[in-house]
Structure formats: structure tokens, C-alpha cells
Amino acid sequence: MIEQRPEWTHGVRRIAVLTGAGISTDSGIPDYRGPDGVWTKDPEAVDVFTYDSFMAKTEIRQQLWQRYLGHAAWRAQPNAAHHAIAGLAMAGRAVRILTQNIDGLHQRTGIAERKVLELHGGLRSTGCTSCDTKTATEDVLARVAAGEADPACANCGGILKPAIVLFGQLLDEDVIGRARNIAAASELFLVVGSSLQVEPAASLCAVAVAAGARLVIVNRDPTPYDDQATAVIREPIGAAVPRICAALS
């Protein structure tokens, strides 16, 4: 259990929050590396989310669209942890959210979209890999549901891909640059529900610590950055994060 008012919450003005899949499990979205995680239960699923395979193989694209057709993200609602973080920002605290998640749940709390930086993209938009035409993913999935297993771009016939970063793709340089600036400017760098095994997102912890921030990690399992943290909290996220946010406010 964390104490009522931890010392590391004192005097904090600028807060950066890095969130991973673990924050969304209470909303019904499975994580990736936990006991019931996507990769744990189906290691071969990684191939479906690999850029080269997606671009080269029709059957891989068909599998990806089928996975997202019934994905829990379309039904999920923000949970107590999402709302607690948004509440800090809405109360006037200088909060920026850096999320590895593609589910859009932070934005659905009502927080200003400019305060949320999606490091790995977002599920709700789809782009053509040839002509850069953008369309709503729900519209593409409607075509999948109607029988188009691998829908092509209506403008040029090119391959459509959700606006997410697949394995083998580089993160957008502007996005990761902005994330590093936010991490370096923070006084508290709060990690919630991330295994911190995916780079370069995980290295934002090192950027923050090098700039003098307090690093606090809320995660069920050990991470590679635990030894750099001011505090490591193993409590369930849905209980720990609202309490941390209450202390910070």
C-alpha cells in the first residue's frame, strides 16, 4: 500500500504520465504480456502485427482486420485510472499523457486532446499506404463486415492500414521528439501499466530521470527501470492511480 501523502508528491507542478496496456485492462481490453495477454496466449499473433508481413501478405491483412472487427476497444469505456489522470488535468495541473495505447480511452474522458500524445498511433483512423488518404477505421470495418476481407483504398486501390505503429515500423520522429521534450520538462514521470520493454517509449524514463524528474512506476510486474524509480507500486492500477492523483491534487 502507498502512504497517504508520499513525499514524492510534494512540490510537483509538471507531471508526465506514460501509460501502457495495463491501464486499460479494467476497461476490458487485454494486455499483451500478462497471464491472459495477447502475445502470451497466442505468440504467433505477433506476425499479424508486423509491418513487413502486413504489407506483403493478403492473408495477414485479412487476419488483422478480423481481429479489429470485434476488438474490445470499440466497446470499452474509460475506467477509474483514466478518469483520475484526466481529473488532474481538468483541475488545472500541468499534465501531459504519453500513451502507448491505441484505444483512445484517455481522450474519451473529456481531457483536451492536445494533452494526449499517442506514441504508437490510434485505432480510430486508417490511412492508405500509397496515397495517404485518411478514413475512419469504423467505416473500413463496415466494409469488412459486409464481406471485403482486405478492403483497398477507395481513392487509389492501395493497401489500407490502421494508423497504428506495427512491429518493424519506426515511430514518428516528431511524436517521439515531442515526447522526449515532455519527459525532460516533467518533475514527476508517472508510469502506469507498462512493462517498459518497448523502445523508444521505455527510454522516456531515462530521459526524465536524467533531467531530474522523480520516476514512479505503477505496474504489476518488474520492469527494466525499477532500479531508477523513486517508488515502485505493485497495487492494482484501479486503486493506486486514483489515490496517487488525489495526493497530487
Question: What is the spatial distance between Cα 249 and Cα 239, in angstroms, rounded to a whole number?
Answer: 16
Whole-number Å distance between alpha carbons of 60 and 66: 10
Residue 135 vs residues 145, 161, 166: alpha-carbon distances, Å:
16, 10, 18
- Report how far residue 168's alpha carbon sits from residue 68's, in angstroms, rounded to the nearest whole number: 20
| 14-19, strands of its sheet edge to edge | 116-118, 94-99, 14-19, 188-192, 214-218, 231-233
243, containing H or E segment = helix 237-248
User: 171: helix, coil or strand?
Assistant: coil
* CA-to-CA dists, residue 179 to 52, 54, 84, 189, 237, angstroms: 26, 27, 21, 12, 23
Considering 82, 83, 106, 120, which one is annotated as catalytic? 120
Can you tell me the distance from the alpha carbon of 11 to that of 245, in angstroms, rounded to the nearest whole number? 14
Q: Is 106 a catalytic residue?
A: no
Task: Give the three cell numbers for residue 74.
Answer: 470499440
Residue of 249, 246, 237 whose CA lies nearest to 82: 237
Active-site positions? 120
